[in-house]
Amino acid sequence: MFNRKKYIIALVLLGVASVSAAVLNALYGKQEYWLWILLVVMTLWTVLRTRVYAPLQVFGTKFTMLVDYDLDIEEACRLAKLGADNAPTARVKEIYGMYYAMGLYYKGDYEAAVRAFNQIDMKKLDGVYHVLIVAFIAYSEFELGNAEAFDEAVERLRGIKTGIPVKYQNYAANYLEILEAMGKLSHDPESYRATMEKHFSREDGYISTRLIHHYRLALYHKEVGNVEEMDKLLAFVIANGKEHHTALQAKKLFQGTVNIEDY
């Protein structure tokens, strides 16, 4: 693994090589050799950046598959923690830390997830990551039943949306639409239901999307007092969700009016 120690060594070697080449060229070379030195340095720097960020991109894909398809949340958390502990740069460390906090959310440890998200140095991350972090804080606070903290996170996300590049604002708007509907569940359950259908009824091949869809709709039926319909949705989540947080929450809400084995 290309960790921080190796990264620093590579930076030092690149710096020494660059200075040495510049000194030798100044003493014995010609003016046009500067271009070649610059090209070599830039090439080596590009290779170094690839060594830093390519593993992170591979991990991101792996994390998604573990969480959304395999439902192996423990392994996703383990890999994220390993990545954070061995990150070559501070920025990469914070990105891995964000994934780790998301893993804690997905395994249903909402309080630990909030703590982990709040420990991330967001100054080292781009605005798109800010959206994810604050949205998942809001998700966590919702599951914990902390209405005031939930509202604060949603308001914070509204502020982030106005400050990020235009190309990311729809991304933030989608999270806001979901969270605002969740916040109004008890006041406007029909709007909540329509919003959950809009965002989670798609067939994207991930079992997690179906779990979230069924779980969110179960909360609607709980709100309107339709216990049997709620249990049908929860039974599917319990039967198929393994240790995904929706399955853990579903077990708390399930009233036993249907047979889980039928789903």
Q: How far apart are CA 181 and CA 147, in angstroms?
A: 13
Residue 33 confidence (pLDDT) above 80: no
pLDDT digits (tens, 9 = 90+) for 59-88: 899 999 999 999 999 999 999 999 999 888
Percent of the chain with pLDDT strictly greater than 70: 80
pLDDT digits (tens, 9 = 90+) for 177-222: 999 999 999 999 999 999 999 999 998 989 999 999 999 999 999 9
Q: Which of 93, 87, 178 is nearest to 131 (CA)?
A: 178
CA distances, 74 to each of 55, 63, 94 (Å): 20, 11, 19
Q: How many CB atoms lie within 10 A of CB 99?
A: 23
Where residue 8 falls among pLDDT bands split at 50, 70, 90? low
Yes or no: say if 120 and 104 are a contact pair by the CB < 8 Å rule: no
**Phi, psi angle pair for 184, to nearest 5°:** -105, 15
Where residue 11 falls among pLDDT bands split at 50, 70, 90? very low
Yes or no: say if 146 and 154 are a contact pair by the CB < 8 Å rule: no
pLDDT digits (tens, 9 = 90+) for 146-156: 999 999 999 99
DSSP labels for 88-146? SSHHHHHHHHHHHHHHHHHTT-HHHHHHHHHTS-GGGS-HHHHHHHHHHHHHHHHHHT-
72 by DSSP, 3-state: which?
Answer: coil
Q: Which of 194, 168, 167, 165 is nearest to 180 (CA)?
A: 194
Task: State residue 254's pLDDT score.
Answer: 97
CA distances, 230 to each of 20, 135, 211, 241 (Å): 71, 25, 13, 16
pLDDT digits (tens, 9 = 90+) for 213-237: 999 999 999 999 999 999 999 999 9
Yes or no: say if 77 and 104 are a contact pair by the CB < 8 Å rule: yes
CA-angle at 9, arms to 1 and 20, nearest 5°: 140
> Tokens standing for 126?
């781009």
Q: How far apart are CA 33 and CA 241, in angstroms?
A: 62
Task: State residue 226's pLDDT score.
Answer: 97
Q: How far apart are CA 176 and CA 184, in angstroms?
A: 12
